[in-house]
Amino acid sequence: MIQIIPAIDLIEGRCVRLSQGDYGSRKIYDGDPADLAARYADCGVGRIHLVDLDGAKAGSPRNLRTLERIALRVDVELEWGGGLSSSEALLQAFDAGATQAIIGSVAAREPDLFRTWLRTFGGSRVLLGADVRDGRIAVKGWLEDTLLGIEDMVECFLPDGLQECICTDIGRDGMLSGPSFALYPPLQERFPDVSFTVSGGISSMDDIRRLDGMGLRKVIAGKALYEHRITLKEIESWSLNASSPASM
């Protein structure tokens, strides 16, 4: 069964959601991020997706204290992205409690550095963050577009031990319009040794069930959880079924 990974996006230590990567469209949600992470962990999820939006914009981490507080509250994997543009920042994120680091801009603009990180920390800890707009990779918190395509980017890092790629369809992110069902199956089929995480547009459990039927392995749910289109009870039920012997 596909693994559901709840998302928490952070600006100034608060939970927010953007629409299509537009910082001007931010919607702030009440509640402490550490409390929210604990509720997700109590539902049986194995991983939480955390994005430092301030860090993504600034080019260096800005919400590591929040990461530290979350890491103290939950015993699940924490994948962290946003502003990891130097080896120092990467180590700071790991020291603060991140179990995985999501790397986007460095992979696109400094591929040799990303290769070094893959070889040093391994593909289970260093993940490729491929944020796609109109078929091309976007960087710097989605504020700048490149000429790179996702297939070329994944192909580039396979020899260095790439194992996971979080692929976000920016045009659908935060829109609750459903994911790009046509985007992910060809990627997973072309690169079977890479686990692709679906990100952007998830609106309901029906979307997740459809992705599961397509053979996708991981999916991020963000705004649909905040807006109660997917309930914690549904997440808990899915997580329990996913961990049962019959689903293995």
Q: What is the DSSP letter of 136?
A: E
**Active-site choice (9, 54, 173, 212):** 9
9 has catalytic annotation = yes
Evaluate if residue 248 carries a pLDDT over 80.
no
Evaluate if residue 39 carries a pLDDT over 80.
yes
Residues contacting 18, CB < 8 A, separation 6+: 9, 25, 26, 27, 53, 173, 174
Which residue ranges make up each domain of the chain?
Answer: 3-243
Please identify, in words, the CATH class of the domain defined by 3-243: alpha beta
- Per residue in 198-230, pLDDT (tens digit) is 999 999 999 999 999 999 999 999 999 999 999
Q: Give the pLDDT confidence score for residue 141 in this predicted structure.
A: 59
**Active-site choice (52, 131, 173, 212):** 131
- Per residue in 111-128, pLDDT (tens digit) is 999 999 999 999 999 999
Sign of CA dihedral 138, 3, 55, 153: negative
95 has catalytic annotation = no
